[in-house]
Structure 1
């Protein structure tokens, strides 16, 4: 089980809207200059993701929850997203190269196969996202933000 903490945005009728912060690991390793993740993180301005998770326990906005997702579903979705365009690219490129015997045809086949593989992955992802074992679940719930209050006293307040 892969775990991550999220913040509750809202809770209505058994459905929690959660916000997960995107973590960039760029500050924690020494190879900052040649890191591909650092470059990709700079491209997208999105710093958080919002998702909806079923939850029977009433939650308060600002409350922290621990989410979990099965490793199998994460690996399966990564394989679907990365491998289907790649396989489509190679197969259609080889097919066009064999049929038309030109490099231009192979390039066009590669483009068509990559886009086709992406569309296939997109169609399958909609079907797979409906599976219950592919959904994130709430593993634990932290205290609401207003449940704990700490008062400090200065030495001048003791008199």
Structure 2
């Protein structure tokens, strides 16, 4: 389970809106000097606020500090959909047109159409999976570290 701390901003039936602070793990990485993510973090681009709708059965109050989570397999499947599907369709379309003897501009056009089709397919899948509770963040529990409040928000 991938977990993130946040503060409840709004309450609705069966769910809450949570404000989280996006953070990176640059402090524990050995490649700090040569990493673009580390540079963005130092420039302040990595510490933006995020707003997440999380499902919950418990009643929360605005301002409560909570821990939200998403199953790791949901994140991996989502990444595969977003990255692999458009790329696979790009190559499949280009290779299909090349296999039937298409010219180079036709192969390029087919590749672009395959990529576009992949993006459309990902969008369709995202809309379909949007209301799946297994893929939606869940409030796991109240967040506090030995009584220390969440101070980075």
Task: State TM-score, norm by structure 1.
Answer: 0.75
Aligned to 2:3: 3
Please say if 1:34 is aligned against 2:37.
no
Please say if 1:120 is aligned against 2:121.
yes
Q: Which has the larger radius of gyration?
A: 1
Tell whether the 8 Å contact from 1:10 to 1:59 is kept in structure 2 after alignment: no
Compared CA separation, residues 26 and 132, structure 1 to 2 (3 A): same
Aligned to 2:142: 141
Moved over 6 A (4+): 39-42
3-state SS of 2:63 partner: coil
Aligned to 1:157: none
The within-5 A match list for 1:14-33 is: 14-33=14-33
Structure of higher RCO (CA pairs closer than 8 Å, 6+ residues apart): 2
The structural deviation recorded for 1:84 is 0.7
Is there any run of 5+ residues in structure 1 with no aligned partner, and where? 149-159
- Deviates most, 14-23 or 82-91: 14-23
Higher helix proportion (structure 1 or 2): 1
Task: State TM-score, norm by structure 2.
Answer: 0.78
3-state SS of 1:140 partner: strand
Q: Any idea what the Cα deviations from partners look like across 1:25-49, whole Å, max 9, x if unmatched?
A: 345434344324346777x788122
The within-5 A match list for 1:29-68 is: 29-38=29-38, 47-68=48-69
3-state SS of 2:53 partner: strand
